[in-house]
Chain A
Amino acid sequence: MGAVSGPAGGGMNGTRDRARTLLGPLLAENPITLHVLGLCSALAVTKTLLAALVMSAAVTAVLILSGGAVSAIRHQVPRSIRLIVQITIIASLVIVVDLVLQAYAWELSKQLSVFVGLIITNCIVFSRAESFAINHGVVRSMLDGAGNGLGYGIVLGLVGAVREVLGSGTLLGATVLATASGGGWYVPMTLMLLPPSAFFLIALVIWGLRTMRREQIEAREFTAPGPENGR
């Protein structure tokens, strides 16, 4: 999993280092745009901004707690069972988060449906546990979890806001563009209500980021055969 490793430790625990652990994943090492992880939920729960934000909060909570827990027991866990131990910790935390949502945000938890449970299989959570928390101290791991959760939240929030405004004419339920069906002028883009629109929006974000930060562009994995070097 070398490709998805976090910022290198640097060998000290300075404030700058911690700030980098927390802030790095927001833009420079964003789990969605750089590592392109966690897309399944990003497509499914970004129809409205509120759902996107609640989902991000749930993922962030799981990331922080699982980072801390995996880090705290990293010197005790034998390598042979470390994956299953991580999964057990993550799964327990996700169930708790799911129950909290059902208790305090019933309507939203029905809207998020299976995707809260699927945080267990969210690659971001697992990759942070396996590539960062298992090698770093508790505080650093929790900061890393918070940073990655927020980085995920920024992209989800952005996509959710655009989809809700263009698809329904509202933002957090408040009318922004008066829709034609409600007597206004705006004809909603039905595409924005469908999951593929999130693909387009995330692709635009990745394109924008990689145009600004050229170092994020990945090396080509192969060259397509052209007419001059073809078969």
Chain B
Amino acid sequence: MTGSDHPARRPPPDTLARTLTVGLAVALFGSLLVAVATEMLGPRIDANAERERQQELEALIQSLPGIAELMSGAVEGAASIDAVVVDLASGETVPGADPAAADMRAAVDDPARSTELAPEDDAAGIGRRPDRGVAIIVRRGGEVAMVVLPVFGQGFASTMWGYLALAGDLNTVAGLTFYEHKETPGLGGVIGDDDWQAAWAGKLVRDADGAFRLGVATGTLRADATPHQVDAMTGATYTAAGVTALLRFWLGGLGWGPYLDRLAAE
């Protein structure tokens, strides 16, 4: 590098004061830059993520078996799809509540709209449970044909956000999808894959005795468990356990259990 723009300029002296000042100034400038960008672009990014979630939900509903006939009206009786706001503790629907305002993701961090869970109750590892949730319910001729429930829980490296769809008997899984997670790509990350999600269709939540059996197998998938469980994922023990735990939680008494009981009693 012979003859630069400013030849014979000596580098600044390495004093402690200068090192600290320059270091702090650069760090401050960098943080300011990032903070301003986050503040200005945040709303747009959130809107993009929200649109993505809507698309995933629509894709899940479209991919459910039999939904096309339901929607086209080819089956006897008109089908309707409604989003209902549910008070999770009582299982009652809240008439007139705006589904868009009852979003679980926003409520989970808001102490006014969520309830802290005791550690022994918190199977899904979510800390707080939103007080309300939005269920999407498909009816055919007045009968419940399908219900889609938002679920989420702690995986290995992230919170896994998804939807669980149950068929009209409320005991058969129609579909399970995770639209957002940060599990290890190639290992736990398979929960985002269509193949893995397709394996859930037709699994039964409870056995004939009413015991909860739904989940990911631990170790070999035994023959007597195949009606209820999907195969384990290699190298993703924590993710698998997290999925099982969140299903157990959200289908239990602290999750959607009370609402499902009410639906079943209809």
Contacts and interface: CB of A to CB of B under 8 A. Distances in A.
**Bound together:** yes
Interface of A: 5, 8-11, 13, 73, 75-81, 84-85, 88-89, 91-93, 95-96, 99-100, 102-104, 106, 131, 135-137, 140
B27 interface: yes
B41 interface: yes
In order of increasing CB-CB distance, the 9 nearest A-B pairs are A92-B30, A11-B3, A106-B48, A103-B44, A103-B41, A96-B37, A78-B14, A137-B5, A135-B4
Contact of A92 (B3, B23, B33): B33
Contacts of A9: 1-5
A104 B48 CA distance: 9
B26 A102 contact: no
Contacts of A99: 37-38, 41, 45
Contacts of A140: 5
A81 B1 contact: no
A104 B44 contact: yes
Please tell me the size bucket of the interface on B: 20 to 34
Contacts of A10: 3
B15 interface: yes
A121 B11 CA distance: 26
A78 B26 CA distance: 12
Given A137-B5, A140-B5, A100 B19 contact: no
A103 B48 contact: yes
Main SS class of interface, B: helix
A77 B1 contact: no
Nearest to B23: A81
A131 B30 CA distance: 22
Contacts of B48: 102-103, 106
Interface of B: 1-7, 9, 11-15, 18-19, 22-23, 26-27, 29-31, 33-34, 37-38, 41, 44-45, 48, 51-52
A102 B1 contact: no
A162 B32 CA distance: 41
Contacts of B19: 78, 80-81
Nearest to A10: B3
Contact of B22 (A85, A95, A106): A85
A102 B7 contact: no
A80 B4 contact: no
Contact of A8 (B1, B38, B51): B1
A140 B30 CA distance: 23
B26 A88 contact: yes
A88 B52 contact: no
Contacts of A75: 9, 12
Nearest to A9: B4
A136 B9 CA distance: 11
Given A92-B34, A99-B38, A85 B3 contact: no
A145 B45 CA distance: 28
Contact of B11 (A79, A91, A92, A137): A79
A184 to B, nearest CB: 26
11 contacts: A11-B3, A73-B22, A75-B9, A77-B12, A92-B30, A102-B41, A102-B45, A106-B51, A135-B1, A135-B5, A136-B4
